[in-house]
Amino acid sequence: MNIVVLAGGLSTERDVSITSGSMVAKALRQKGHNVVLLDVFMGYEQDECDVKALFENGYDFTKDSKVSENVPDLEQVRNMRRVKSDSYFGEHVEEICRFADIVFLALHGGDGENGRLQAALDLMGIKYTGSGYLASANAMNKGVTKSIFLDHKVGTPFGKCFRQKDNLDDFDIFPCVVKPCSGGSSVGVSIVEDKKDFVKAMDEAFKYETEVLVEQYIKGREFSVGVIDGKALPIIEIIPKSGFYDYVNKYQSGRTLEICPAELDEETTRRMQKEAEKAYDALGLEAYGRIDFLLDKDGALFALEANTLPGMTSASLIPQEARANGIEYPDLCEMIVDVSMKKYL
């Protein structure tokens, strides 16, 4: 197959996306596919674009990329672009994607994951991996996700959404967790103990978005469950060596202990996997996704959020969960392509 792997973009998770995309492209080439690795924002910045040759030669816009400890400077990224345009798509992106049998979305956060890109590809008649525009939009917004979970009786912490002009004085549930509504990789997330820290945390979260979700802090063990084609993978437990599962602990090697399959009794394992499948269905996800959970000391389950384009770096969770099921990384990437193609049958 001819496959475009789209990565990069203009979100705070740009670096993570590039690393995911590099690994996915390499894996799909190992499986015998013709793969172009393309930055959706930069595009292919050459006047002449021989699309067929790009696939034959395995065009790759980056080599040996790594995730920095710091969130990328997006203004610097914008200034690097050859053509100064408001378009999210870089040069020749549509042309190259049209030549492909399917586009593997290795994008994370922002317009790569919030449904806008998916809607644009739908209008162009371009096939892509993962969920469609509506499920992507719903899952991207943590406030909307929480409402859908509540409507479908998926256990989730109490929460409230705030906008920048809202009065913060009324909120008095502490400790709590403050998080941008549509962010990812825990960028701008804080655990807050009191009112003073709450105001600071809200100021920090509002640097990234105009809407922020505040929810009750649940003390417990943290888990994640990948779902492929509606069926849950083995559960992974996430144990940061210090602090919580923030941007640094997620992507810097050695910061977090990850146990897969998680050390849970059979009943709890089955219950969490079923809840993950229920959350996946409630949001209308397609092909694959990942649901994050907390399990408190009394055995209560709390679904935190859903990820429609989970990370595919060496430190990412779904590849570890798939491996526990005997599915190696290249096979996982090809499986995602195959189950995504089923949307178009």
For 289, the enclosing helix (H) or strand (E) is strand 288-296
8 is catalytic: no
* CATH number assigned to the domain comprising residue 191: 3.30.1490.20
- Give the active site residue among 44, 59, 208, 251: 251
pTM (predicted TM-score)? 0.88
Structure confidence by residue, pLDDT tens digits, 87-129: 999 999 999 999 999 999 999 988 899 999 999 999 999 999 9
| Count of the separate structural domains present in the chain | 3
- Give the active site residue among 307, 316, 334, 340: 307
Q: Are residues 84 and 27 in the same domain?
A: yes
CB 128 within 8 A of CB 118: yes
305 is catalytic: yes
290 is catalytic: yes
- Give the active site residue among 13, 39, 237, 321: 13
Of the candidates 19, 21, 52, 7, which has an alpha carbon nearest to the alpha carbon of residue 34? 52
Angle at the Cα of 105 from the Cα atoms of 101 and 108, rounded to 5 degrees: 175
Q: Are residues 229 and 211 in the same domain?
A: no
185 is catalytic: yes
Q: Are residues 151 and 282 in the same domain?
A: yes
Q: Are residues 43 and 79 in the same domain?
A: yes
For 102, the enclosing helix (H) or strand (E) is strand 102-105
R_g over Cα of the chain:
20
251 is catalytic: yes
- Give the active site residue among 39, 311, 321, 340: 311
Structure confidence by residue, pLDDT tens digits, 27-39: 999 999 999 999 9
Instruction: Choose the weakest-confidence range: 43-57, 195-209, 240-254, 291-305.
Output: 240-254
Q: Which domain, by its residues, includes 310?
A: 139-155+220-328+339-344
- Give the active site residue among 185, 249, 316, 340: 185
Q: Are residues 24 and 100 in the same domain?
A: yes
- Give the active site residue among 208, 226, 290, 316: 290
